[in-house]
Amino acid sequence: MTGPCIERKSNMKGKTITKMIVTLLAILLAFGISGCGTKPSGSDSSLKTIAVTMNISYPQKSGKTDLKDYPMNVQQGATVLQVLEAYCEREGVNVSVDTTQGSYVTGINQVQATQHTGWVYEVNGQSSVNGADQQQVQNNDNIVWKVTAL
């Protein structure tokens, strides 16, 4: 008679442990699912996709072909730098950014800024006093990156 009692107790213990594990997993899963739906602070589910155009004007001596009127769809609120990074990621182009004092683009497609030149951008033909990481783009903006003498 002790055999079945031990076996039964063992089964109950196993069932109890199984139930505890299942319950624990259900709780963790519930928290995991609810956590997946949360948004970082400052995000807005009403953000829309907007269309912008990217251009990159390389120095003639670089031997690179300029990028002209490259259409991109980005999330509303994206910055000029985020658009550039999205283009570079999509096309496998390298972009270098110095973040020691803000975000300064030091190279695009292996064309590096020098002591006397730098990468600058314009939006709709207008230069900006804002850094590329601060300047938000609007629908139908035309972004131009180019190297200029400092």
76 plus 128 within the same structural domain: yes
CATH code for the domain of 114 = 2.170.130.30
40 DSSP 8-state letter: -
Residue 92 structural domain: 49-149
16 is written with which tokens? 């109890």
Distance of alpha carbon 25 from alpha carbon 30, whole angstroms: 8
Q: Is residue 44 a part of any domain in this protein?
A: no
In a domain, 71, yes or no: yes
Q: Same structural domain for residues 24 and 76?
A: no
Domain count, the chain: 2
Task: Looking at the structure, tell me whether residues 2 and 34 fall in a common domain.
Answer: yes
Note whether residue 117 is domain-resident: yes
- Is 123 part of a structural domain of the chain? yes
Does pTM surpass 0.75?
A: no
Say yes or no: 145 and 71 in one domain. Answer: yes
Tokens of 39: 């948004």
Structure tokens at 132: 């590329």
Do 57 and 86 share a domain, yes or no?
A: yes
Q: Tokens 């990028």, residue?
A: 67
Q: Is the dihedral of CA 100, 102, 104, 109 positive or negative?
A: positive
Whether 43 maps to a domain, the answer reads: no
- As a whole number of angstroms, the distance between CA 96 and CA 106 comes to 5
**Of 61, 106, 64, residue with least CA distance to 81:** 106
The reply to whether 135 falls in a domain is: yes
The pLDDT value recorded for residue 60 is 93
Q: Is residue 22 part of a domain?
A: yes
Residues 96 and 141 in one domain: yes
What is the residue-level pLDDT of the chain in tens, covering all 150 positions?
433 332 223 344 444 555 555 555 555 555 554 444 434 444 555 679 999 999 999 999 999 999 999 999 999 999 999 999 999 999 999 999 999 988 999 999 999 999 999 999 999 999 999 999 999 999 999 999 999 998
Q: Are residues 30 and 69 in the same domain?
A: no
